């Protein structure tokens, strides 16, 4: 039986969330909303991504979507059944749907998203019994660090007259 991060209380979440934060910083440096994600399987990162909506001019270019695509390519399978997704911001409805579709069993996020969170805050897509897959979700890992990066980014954007 495969052990997932949520099932193992000794599993350290901070190193993986730090890796997701490094991805978020890459987004920040490109003037993208600083959200980062990594997908971990058996103690190694198999997919990573950061928001690239502006750069790619693609509304689906969220950190989670890019990481999911990369992980699926790494595994040569769309089923990410023994993986854990770490993301700095609670996934939106699109990303929560992709989590369900890719069968990711465990999601760890940093800070909740009061305007678009689809795992706990506004919706519970990843835990909807009407769907064919559910994920165990835990929020709040390195919450302050994840939130601070977003707050700083949006403060700078407002100061520039953007967003």
Cα–Cα distance, 41 to 50 (Å, whole number): 19
Element (DSSP H or E) covering residue 138: strand 136-139
Q: Where are the alpha helices (DSSP H) in the chain?
A: 14-29, 53-56, 63-75, 93-102, 143-159
Q: Find the Cα–Cα–Cα–Cα dihedral 46, 75, 107, 68, rounded to 10°.
A: 80
Catalytic residue among 64, 90, 129, 156: 64
Instruction: Mark whether 64 is an active-site residue.
Output: yes
**Would you please indicate which residues are annotated as catalytic (active-site) residues?**
64
């Amino acid at each position: 039986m495969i052990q997932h991060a949520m099932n193992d209380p000794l599993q350290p979440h901070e190193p993986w969330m730090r890796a997701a934060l490094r991805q978020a910083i890459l987004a920040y440096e490109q003037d993208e909303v600083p959200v980062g994600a990594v997908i971990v399987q058996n103690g190694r990162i198999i997919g990573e991504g950061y928001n690239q909506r502006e750069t790619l001019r693609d509304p689906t270019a969220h950190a989670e979507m890019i990481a999911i695509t990369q992980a699926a390519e790494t595994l040569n399978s769309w089923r990410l059944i023994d993986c854990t997704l770490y993301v700095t911001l609670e996934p939106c409805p699109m990303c929560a749907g992709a989590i369900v579709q890719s069968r990711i069993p465990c999601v760890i996020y940093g800070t909740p998203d009061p305007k678009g969170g689809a795992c706990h805050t506004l919706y519970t897509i990843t835990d909807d019994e009407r769907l064919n897959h559910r994920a165990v979700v835990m929020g709040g890992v390195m919450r302050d660090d994840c939130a601070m990066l977003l707050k700083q980014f949006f403060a700078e954007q407002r100061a520039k007259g953007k967003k």
